[in-house]
Structure 1
Amino acid sequence: MLKTADLIQIRRHLHQIPELALNEFQTHTYIKEVIQGFDQEHLTIREVEELPTALLVHIDGVNPKRTIGYRTDIDALPVQEETGLPFESKHPGVMHACGHDIHMTVALAVLSYFAQNQPQDNMVFFFQPAEESENGGLLAYEDGVFEGQWRPDEFYGLHDTPDLPAGQIGCRLGTLFAGTTEIDVDFVGKGGHAAFPQNANDMIVAASQFINQIQTIISRSLDPIHSGVVTFGMFEAGTIRNVIAGRAHLEGTIRGLKQTTIEQIDERIRDVAAGIARSYNCEVNLNFIQGGYLPVENDPKLTENFIDYMEKQHASQFTITEPAMTGEDFGYLLSKIPGTMFWLGVGDEHPLHSAKLNPNEDAIEPGVKAIVDFLEYRMQEK
């Protein structure tokens, strides 16, 4: 099994070579080289032609009753690193600002343990590209990656969080992460001179009213118990102060803890858009993009088992967490294969996606031990 010093070295190397979605070629090569250094007796390494930066590893179980899957994401973000670390990113404008270098390191450690200590059940490790964008989990599933011996009966995966102390495990029944839908809105009216508004059709006004009305969806159309968020972070319109804008463009995000909530928000946005189009005599064109970013809904039975084990065997290291409005495309895989996602605390003052995020490496060893312990326990169950 990989030792702590090896894991730190692996993590720091991965941190230096961050790559964006579907372009994780250096990362893929390095992960494969590390895995090839393990005992290969019970391992099968698989590459995917349709998804060339993905990597899967199958471990034959001694007396398998099931196939247990473990997934880690491998891509990075378009963020210029500002940590000043001696092992900071060597790729300008790209950084592991979401801690996927920690995710990969933990996965490699767990894999190395079971390569050396043959598990009771079969195992499939999935090193997934394109979590931050491009729906890597959905792409893999639709490409038929999880068929035959490569289909887990249950799937597990973690996400690091700076909000928990280093090494602490967090989980909850139900939804862990929200689902996300990106939305683009285009308004088409009629431009004109600022002095003659009666001859034009102002899309800044129309788009502004649209945004104001959208904000009432959360407060007046949803059950208050069912959380949701609609945020428009980009508004483009106009060219100069004395010309009425005939076009406007908005880009935003929709988030909900249940897929039904997201679909309800989508439908109400369509209603508002239709009303704005009628009121302002303009076109309002909507484009919703959800892809694989469904809510991360933990399987009730598997998650209750995970929580029960952690509370009994790693009580000082475990906590029940609240749901988060961040998105994760593991939600798509959990909509197809039952499983559990959980947090691993990395205790940092900077949030995920920050240019200064610096996860505490002390989280790695206790995180690995808790995961290995749980998986071995799970394999003893009927």
Structure 2
Amino acid sequence: MTEPIRDRLVTVRRHLHRHPEPAWREFYTTARLVEEIRAIGVNELAVGPDAYDPADRMAVPSDDEIDFWLERARDRGADDALLERMSGGNTGAVAVLERGDGPAIGLRVDIDGLFVEEATGDGHVPDAEGFRSEIEGTMHACGHDVHMTWGLAVLEAIAESDFAGRLVVFFQPAEEVGGGGCPMARSRFVDDLDYLLAVHVGLDHPSGEVVAGIEKPLAMCHVDVTIEGTSAHAGKSPNEGDNAMHAMGTAIENAYGIPRHADGMTRVNVGRAEAGTASNVIAERAHLEAEARGETTELMEYVKGRLERVVRSAARMHGCDAVFDVISESPRADSDPELVDVVVDVATGLHGTDRVVPTADFGASEDATFLMNRVQESGGLASYLIVGTDHPTSHHTPTFDVDEDALDHGVSVLVETIGELERRHPVSNAENAAEDG
């Protein structure tokens, strides 16, 4: 019999930490999750295209990239049948427990890693204790290894309890590129959910602290821009060229001049740019990657629209053409006060809790907001929790790590919150819908 996950939280987290995979390439990760979920025993387990419509995915990488990571997962021992089901980059899973009449509760955890080379040296605990990333240039630098471990442990705890209702755990791919929340939010598994819990570790909240619900996550979009010009000899006939690099420079400068908005916070950033082939050639092609954010979805749309106008105007100014592609985006969603109050009550009385913060501004972006919005629009409640952990450096850095005491603490917060929702819930949305029909 498999040892309970609650008794091996550190082992599970460290194994997942050693095998990080980027967005839509989480093949080995999904296979390991499926292995654990099957051992727990659930009523339904949907993997990849059975968990969502692949057409709803955003920020999907090239076929070559996908195939490279699939073969890497095969070499690491991932199940061939599962890899076949996930072909084309359809990773992730949804696990469902049906336990009779009661509330329908969703839990969303994310599973992808980042393109960050993990640190070495005795000062970095994963390296010193032998669980540093084994995949060069890729790392769990945002705690998703912790989130997955929580998801598995909560699923197991509820499966073994006398919980009455339905629990749906979303093991969501591609959060770091904002690509996986939308397809899972549009899936049938979100239908009739009464409650949705999403969760993150750390985010500058120390060990022992719990934030019961975030507010003001920034709506976000990722953008790819290609500018096409005309090449020419830079010395002999520069006037015959249309300089895509010059157009790109104009676009970047003007992007940072987009006016801020009176209605709230806005952000714009060009994070990557490249152009040209040689010093004596007028560049005929340029590429840049940028993002727009806003305190509300409407403010993000404002910045996105201005950014597109800036790019196209800069291209025309220099005789070039521009292609402006929105690769992914996510809306704003705030935690519901009624659900925040439940988490506050639960977390306050738990072992390991030193401080409960009812709400906190998020300040970044998250595609769990797609699921939150879907549940809220259907009459349910959603909250995005933070379970604190001491981390030596910030998220998305080579030396990021967690205080592993947060593993058990996070499981307790989530399991007890689910149990409290069951006790307080009078009737499910599904039953209400049946009565209305």
Q: 1:362, 1:311 → 2: CA distance?
A: 15
For 1:325-356, what per-residue CA distance to the aligned partner results, in whole angstroms no more than 9, with x for missing partners? Answer: 2x322122222123111222221122222222
Give the counterpart letter for 2:334 in structure 1. N
* Contact 1:60/1:118 (8 A) holds in 2: no
Matched, 1:305 2:346: no
- 1:122 pairs, out of 166, 173, 178, with 166
Change (3 A) 1:193 1:63: closer
Higher mean alpha-carbon deviation, 28-37 vs 7-16, is at 28-37
Q: 2:133, 2:173 → 1: CA distance?
A: 18
Give the counterpart letter for 1:7 in structure 2. L
- 2:228 pairs, out of 188, 207, 213, with 188
The 3-state SS of whatever aligns with 1:50 is helix
Give the counterpart letter for 1:22 in structure 2. W
Following TM superposition, by how much is the alpha carbon of 1:370 offset from its aligned partner in structure 2, in angstroms?
1.9
Following TM superposition, by how much is the alpha carbon of 1:105 offset from its aligned partner in structure 2, in angstroms?
1.2
Give the counterpart letter for 1:286 in structure 2. F
- 1:203 pairs, out of 232, 244, 251, with 244
Q: Partner of 2:296 in structure 1?
A: 258
Q: Superposition pairs for residues 68-147 of structure 1, below 5 Å?
A: 68-82=105-119, 83=124, 84=127, 85-133=129-177, 135-142=179-186, 144-146=187-189
Higher mean alpha-carbon deviation, 79-88 vs 227-236, is at 79-88
Change (3 A) 1:173 1:359: closer
Change (3 A) 1:174 1:357: closer
Q: 2:231, 2:288 → 1: CA distance?
A: 17
Matched, 1:321 2:360: yes
Matched, 1:235 2:297: no
* Contact 1:173/1:300 (8 A) holds in 2: no
- 1:345 pairs, out of 378, 388, 398, with 388
Higher mean alpha-carbon deviation, 327-336 vs 196-205, is at 196-205
Q: 2:92, 2:287 → 1: CA distance?
A: 35
Following TM superposition, by how much is the alpha carbon of 1:301 offset from its aligned partner in structure 2, in angstroms?
4.2
The 3-state SS of whatever aligns with 1:35 is helix
Following TM superposition, by how much is the alpha carbon of 1:213 offset from its aligned partner in structure 2, in angstroms?
1.5
After TM superposition, the score normalised by the length of structure 1 is 0.85
Q: 2:316, 2:177 → 1: CA distance?
A: 35
Following TM superposition, by how much is the alpha carbon of 1:199 offset from its aligned partner in structure 2, in angstroms?
4.3
Change (3 A) 1:198 1:322: same
Give the counterpart letter for 2:387 in structure 1. L
For 1:249-282, what per-residue CA distance to the aligned partner results, in whole angstroms no more than 9, with x for missing partners? Answer: 2221222232111111121123323432443333
Give ranges in structure 2 of 5+ residues lacking alignment: 51-85, 377-381, 427-437
Following TM superposition, by how much is the alpha carbon of 1:306 offset from its aligned partner in structure 2, in angstroms?
4.1
Following TM superposition, by how much is the alpha carbon of 1:68 offset from its aligned partner in structure 2, in angstroms?
0.6
After TM superposition, the score normalised by the length of structure 2 is 0.75
Matched, 1:179 2:233: no
Following TM superposition, by how much is the alpha carbon of 1:155 offset from its aligned partner in structure 2, in angstroms?
1.2
Following TM superposition, by how much is the alpha carbon of 1:156 offset from its aligned partner in structure 2, in angstroms?
0.7
For 1:114-136, what per-residue CA distance to the aligned partner results, in whole angstroms no more than 9, with x for missing partners? Answer: 11212133211222233234722
* Contact 2:105/2:195 (8 A) holds in 1: yes
Following TM superposition, by how much is the alpha carbon of 1:96 offset from its aligned partner in structure 2, in angstroms?
1.6
Q: 1:281, 1:321 → 2: CA distance?
A: 47
Change (3 A) 1:234 1:254: same
Change (3 A) 1:250 1:164: same
Higher mean alpha-carbon deviation, 357-366 vs 198-207, is at 198-207
Q: 2:220, 2:206 → 1: CA distance?
A: 27
Q: 1:200, 1:27 → 2: CA distance?
A: 49
Q: Partner of 2:319 in structure 1?
A: 281
- 1:355 pairs, out of 378, 389, 398, with 398
Q: Partner of 1:25 in structure 2?
A: 27
* Contact 2:5/2:12 (8 A) holds in 1: no
Following TM superposition, by how much is the alpha carbon of 1:183 offset from its aligned partner in structure 2, in angstroms?
1.5
Higher mean alpha-carbon deviation, 306-315 vs 72-81, is at 306-315
Q: 2:408, 2:325 → 1: CA distance?
A: 44
Q: 1:92, 1:236 → 2: CA distance?
A: 24
Give the counterpart letter for 1:229 in structure 2. R
Between the aligned residues of both structures, percent identity stands at 28
Q: Partner of 2:196 in structure 1?
A: 155
Q: Partner of 1:12 in structure 2?
A: 14
Q: 1:77, 1:160 → 2: CA distance?
A: 16
Q: 1:15, 1:161 → 2: CA distance?
A: 16
- 2:330 pairs, out of 294, 297, 300, with 294
Following TM superposition, by how much is the alpha carbon of 1:2 offset from its aligned partner in structure 2, in angstroms?
4.3
Q: Partner of 1:166 in structure 2?
A: 207
CA RMSD, 1 decimal: 2.8
Q: Partner of 2:410 in structure 1?
A: 367
Following TM superposition, by how much is the alpha carbon of 1:69 offset from its aligned partner in structure 2, in angstroms?
0.6
Following TM superposition, by how much is the alpha carbon of 1:307 offset from its aligned partner in structure 2, in angstroms?
5.5
Q: Partner of 1:336 in structure 2?
A: 374
Change (3 A) 1:310 1:236: same
Give ranges in structure 1 of 5+ residues lacking alignment: none
Change (3 A) 1:25 1:235: closer
In the comparison of the two structures, how many residue pairs are matched? Answer: 368
